[in-house]
Amino acid sequence: MEKDYHKISCWSFNPDYFEFEIEKSIKKNNRTILTSEVERINSTLEVVEAYLPAATITAITPEDFNIMTEEIEKDLEKLSRQQEEVLDKYSSLQIQKSNLEHQSAIASRLVEELDKDYVFSIENIAEDNLNCPLCGTVYENSIFNKTSILKDKSQAVTQLEDIIEEISSTDKKLDKTFKELNQIRETINGLSTKYEKKEVDQQFTFTNLIESIGGQSLKKNVTEAKKEKLNTITDLNSSIKLATKSQKGLYTGDYIDDINASFNSFLSIYIKMLDAQAVNLSQIDSPLSYIKIVNEGGAAENSRAILAYYIAIFSVVEKYKNEVVSPLVIDTPNQQEQSDNNYSNIVNLIMDKISKNDQVIICAMSNPKLAPLEKRANIIKLDDSKLLSSDHFDDVKKIFDTWDV
């Protein structure tokens, strides 16, 4: 039976394996995106099929359709450009008329106000001077001033008349432009007779031809886009399979068997050193057998077995490493209140079976059994605060700053 080489433990992978894994991950993500886009294209095609005029498909041959499409594009090109120019002109005239109407309203109010000022100066003020009741300023109300009001009113009336005349002229231009626009639209609609095609029970009009052109064009574009994306997905699938095959080719069956044999050997030795031999190792044949070992033995013995499994994995990492080995972290080796003898066995295993070149971080309560480790360790005693001290931040930061990462 062919072995599944994907079940090699991750600590035994070399850098090439992870390069292939990154490549596969990127391509799988691209494949997911493209697959989603293809699904959206399929939805678009369904909408096009649902709303594309049915008569179009039956009432005209593909050859006729292409010829008519080319003719329509030529006929409509000039009309479309003319329509755009006329619409732009019509819009400008509308804006101009709106501005003129606003000016007319202002001029009308000015004429009314000046007329009131003149009547007030004649009928209500007999003196030649007028005192402002608010600020006390004295204003002249002479014949000259009254004549000035009439002059201003005359100018305002003349300006208002000019604005009204310009509005009238703009209205005429708007009417003319609107007629031009209607003529262009009538010409476009008149193309229907040119491209009308009749059959026994159907009439093919210019209107549904235009709809058909849009629908067929959209259908063609999205179908081509779908084809391109499906081709890309096929290429990605091939690349992913090739990367997977290359990954498997990095490791031989003998290499995998050697890793598993080393792990089993380490585990058997460590189980014996920790006096956890009641744990059944018959079903534990690789570093991936974690679930099986956690269910073995009593509480204290199971804790020692898990520690043996943990350190056995670390020993395999040390033996088959391709990169720098990470520190081994052991949180409270005295789990389940081990007996003095068993605790001594745990300490001896850590000291004897872990290389002095590797870093071990142990979190434990003070205990005389830890004395051999304390002689070789840098001890950090925790207080009520926290593990990291802010007092040493600057010193530690200087060290990190020297690293090229």
User: Exposed, middle or buried: residue 107 (CB in 10 Å: 0-12, 13-18, 19+)?
Assistant: buried
Q: What is the mean pLDDT of the chain?
A: 76
Residue type, 157: V
d(CA 358, CA 354): 7
Copy the structure tokens of residue 240. Answer: 């992913």
**Average pLDDT of span 382-394:** 77
pLDDT of 255 reads 78
User: In this structure, which long-range contacts are made by residues 278-286, counting pairs with CB atoms below 8 Å and at least 24 apart in sequence?
Assistant: 279/305, 284/309, 285/260, 286/7, 286/9, 286/260
**pLDDT over 50 (residue 201):** no
d(CA 68, CA 213): 10
- The answer to whether 262 touches 314, Cβ cutoff 8 Å, is no
Distance of CA 91 to the CA centre of its chain: 40
Q: Is pLDDT larger for residue 102 or for residue 389?
A: 102
Q: Which residues pair with 140 in a beta bridge?
A: 129
Q: Which residues pair with 331 in a beta bridge?
A: 363
Residue type, 333: P
pLDDT of 205 reads 53
**pLDDT over 50 (residue 140):** yes
**Average pLDDT of span 117-143:** 60
> Residue 323 contacts by C-beta under 8 Å, 6 or more apart in sequence?
15
Residue in 322, 347, 187 with CA at minimum distance from that of residue 251: 322
d(CA 26, CA 228): 19
Least reliable range by pLDDT among 139-143, 311-315, 346-350: 139-143
**pLDDT over 60 (residue 10):** no
**pLDDT over 60 (residue 90):** yes
pLDDT digits (tens, 9 = 90+) for 268-309: 899 888 888 777 777 777 787 777 777 665 677 788 888 889
pLDDT digits (tens, 9 = 90+) for 220-263: 777 888 889 899 999 999 999 998 888 877 777 777 888 888 88
pLDDT of 385 reads 66
pLDDT of 141 reads 55
Copy the structure tokens of residue 30. Answer: 């691209």
Distance of CA 271 to the CA centre of its chain: 51
**pLDDT over 70 (residue 8):** no
- The answer to whether 247 touches 21, Cβ cutoff 8 Å, is yes
Distance of CA 90 to the CA centre of its chain: 42
The band of 15, judged by pLDDT with boundaries at 50, 70 and 90, is confident
Q: What percentage of the chain carries pLDDT values higher than 90?
A: 6
The band of 58, judged by pLDDT with boundaries at 50, 70 and 90, is very low
Q: Per 3-state DSSP, what percentage of the chain is helix, strand, and coil (rounded to 5)?
A: 70, 5, 25
The band of 163, judged by pLDDT with boundaries at 50, 70 and 90, is confident
d(CA 66, CA 72): 10
> Residue 177 contacts by C-beta under 8 Å, 6 or more apart in sequence?
86, 89, 90, 93
E strand or H helix that includes residue 331: strand 328-331
- The answer to whether 163 touches 107, Cβ cutoff 8 Å, is yes
**Average pLDDT of span 380-397:** 80
Report field, pTM of the whole predicted structure over 0.75: no
